Amino acid sequence: MRRLEGQAVFVAGGAGRLGTATCHRLASEGARVFVTDIDEAAAQAVAKSIVDDGGEAYGTFLDLADHDSIDSAYTLAERVLGPILRLHGNGAALKLMYERDLGALDIDIETWEMTLRTNLTGHLACVKRALPAMIEAGNGAIVLTSSGAAHTAEPIRLAYAVSKAGINQLVRHVAHTWGKQGIRANAVAPGPVLPDDFPNMDAYKQAMRSNRVGKGDDIAAMVAMLMSGDGEWINGQILSVDGGMSMRP
């Protein structure tokens, strides 16, 4: 079943572990995928792999911290694919999160501002760019990547958690404001999607109510469903795909 046959999809952050799996899943559902990433070579490699598998895809550079970069990539996507009615925002400043994102007393303001500029403001810029065509068509689906960190607290990674809480409010705002005009906006909050040799893997498995850690395909399946007609009556939701780690409403 190809639930996205012919749909043009813009993916911001399409060359990492989750992004790659999602781009391939969208293409397998019939979507025409525009893959963007701060690693341009990786974005082009994902697009080439999709084309080699018989799909339609294009890859280019996008820096979520640079609004001119977002506008340029989106303009190119519209030139190549025509009106874009599906947006997936999946980028994040992960290097900053792992290396410099600390607690309130210790985090430097530069790290805070760059994390929010990339993880939250960059996605707002993508949404602002996407909405006019969706509103004109009376049809659109936006799926952003959130995190369980938006619902919990820990001593470090404050900026990341705040940025993901902002993502949740962004999709709710879009759903509330334009839902009656045919626009859907949701977020997916992934659990750990880790390689088999990841340190402390047993601890992650112990925290889950599942017999395995997540795979990129698990997240990709939810994104594809939300973008398809099967997700037509789902709007303004944050959906945890985490093997039962959160068990929240």
The SS3 of residue 87 is strand
Residue from 74, 98, 160, 204 carrying the catalytic annotation: 160
Q: What are phi and psi of 40, to 5 degrees?
A: -60, -40
User: Using alpha carbons only, how large is the chain's radius of gyration in Å?
Assistant: 17
For residue 222, which amino acid is it? M
Distances (CA, A) of 222 to 71, 140, 234: 27, 16, 12
Residue 204 is a catalytic residue: no
CA distance 122 to 116: 8
The count of other CB atoms within 10 Å of the CB of residue 178 is 19
Edge-to-edge strands, sheet with 140-145: 56-61, 32-37, 8-12, 86-89, 140-145, 183-190, 238-241
CA distance 93 to 107: 15
Quote the DSSP letter at residue 141.
E
Q: What are phi and psi of 154, to 5 degrees?
A: -150, 165
CA distance 209 to 220: 20
| Residue spans of alpha helices (H) in 82-154 | 94-100, 109-116, 122-137
Instruction: Show which residues are catalytic.
Output: 160
